[in-house]
Amino acid sequence: MKIAVIGAGSTYTPELVSGLAGERGRLDVDELVLHDIAAERREVVGALAARMLERRRFAGVLTITGDLDRAVDGADFVLLQIRVGGQTARLSDETLPLACGCIGQETTGAGGFAKALRTVPVVLQIAERVRERAAAGAWIIDFTNPVGIVTRALLDGGHRAVGLCNVAIGFQRQFARMLGVDPARVVVDQVGLNHLTWVRAVHLDGDDVLPGLLDEHGDELAAPLELPRTLLDELGAVPSYYLRYFYAHDRVLEQQRAGVPRAAEVAEIERRLLELYRDPALTEKPTLLEQRGGAFYSEAATGLVASLVADSGDVHVVDVRNAGTLFGLAADDVVEVPARVGAGGPVALVQRPLAPELLGLVQHVSAYERLAVHAAVSGDRAVARKALLAHPLVGQVEPAWELVERLLAADAEHLPQFRGQGERVA
C-alpha cells in the first residue's frame, strides 16, 4: 500500500505520521510519501517524520519529495492537507471581512469563501494528476478546508473522493469520557454540512443517550461552544463550535474586532513547532502540537483509511453526496453525515428529516457552497458576488460587492482564474 500526503510540510503531519505508525496492525503501508512545495518545511517536517518512523520500526519506505508526480505515482490513497497562501492568506481571511462588518474566519463566511477561491483550482489540478498517475481505484481523502466545498468540487470533477473533519471524533471522545466508556462503543449522529453540523443523537451500544448527556452535562457541553446551555436544551442537539458564528454573530464580531486574530496565534505556534521539529533528538510529536488544533485528526484519518482497506463497514462521519440522505437538499449537495465505510466507499446512514430551525440554515449555506464552487472554477465575479449574497453571514449587497473586490485584490497572486475581468462597482 502506498499513501501520499500532499501538503506534508504542515505542522499537523507528525500527528498523522504518529497515527499511521500506530496502525500497523490494520494498515500495511509499504511506502509513505510526504510531498510539499515548500522545500524548507518539507525537509524539517520530513526529517522529524523519519525519526518518528525509525523509532516505531516502520518497515516501509519513507519518501520526501517536492515532485507531485513522484508522490502520486501508484498511490492507493492521496491525503490532501494543503493551505494555499499559507498563514499570511489566513490572516487576510480573518481580518479583511471585519472592515465590511462581517465575521472573519478561515473556513466560514467571507474568509472561508476567499480560501475556497484559492484552494479549489489547486486541489483540482492535484486531483487530475492523481487520476492520471495513481493506482486504479485510488481514493482522495480531503482534510483541506473548507472541506465541504473542496469535496464538492472533487466530486463534481468525477474524482473518487471523500471529505473528513475532526469535529465528530472530538465529540465522540468527549461523550465517551462523560459516559466513562471506550470510545469504540459510541457512535455520534452528527448531521448537516461541514462546519455546520449538529449532534442529534449519541448511540451507546445502539441506544441514544444524548438526552441524558444534555441533562447531566449540558453546561459542560455548552461552555466550549460559547453558547448558552438553554440553546442546546431547546434544540435537543449539540451544535458544532462553528455555529457560534451564526447564533452569536454580533458578539463574535465584537470580540474579533477587539482581539488578536487566531491566525496570528497559529503562526506563532507554527514557528515554535518548526523550531522543535528541527531538534535531531525529537522523535515524537511535541505536546505543543495540541495547541495547534486538529485534535484526534490522525485517528480520524487512519480509521477511515483502515475501513476502506479492510471493508469493515465501520461508521465514520464523512462528507459525501447527499443522494437523498437529508430531505430538503439536492441529491448532488455534499453533506456531513455518519456513513458505513467499506471497500466500495461510504454509504450514508438513513437520517430523519432535519427540524425546520436546522434545515433552513443548511439550505441557505448549501446554496452558497454550490455558488462558491462555481465561482472558484469559473473565475466569474458575478457568481462570486452571488455566493456572498447567498451566505447568511454576509447577505447584503454592499458588503458582498465590496468584499469580492477586496478579497480578489488581496489574493490576486493565487487567483489567476479571475484575471482579465474588470472591476464592477456596486
Active site residues: 242
Q: Decide: 113 and 93 in contact? Cβ < 8 Å.
A: no
Distances (CA, A) of 102 to 110, 240, 394: 8, 20, 6
CA angle in degrees (0–180, nearest 5) for 302-305-308:
150
Give strand pairing partners of 250.
none
Q: Is 328 helix (H, G, I), strand (E, B) or coil?
A: coil
Distances (CA, A) of 295 to 79, 276, 292, 319: 17, 19, 9, 18
CA 137/CA 134 separation, integer angstroms:
8
Strands (E) located in 249-389:
314-321, 334-342, 345-348
Q: Decide: 276 and 424 in contact? Cβ < 8 Å.
A: no
Place of cell 453525515: 337
Rounded to the nearest 10°, the torsion over CA 13, 19, 23, 27 is -30
Q: Is 238 helix (H, G, I), strand (E, B) or coil?
A: strand
**What is the end-to-end Cα distance of the chain in Å, rounded?**
53
CA 8/CA 22 separation, integer angstroms:
18
E strand or H helix that includes residue 160: none
CA 68/CA 134 separation, integer angstroms:
11
Q: Which of 32, 50, 37, 29 is closest to 9 using CA atoms?
A: 37
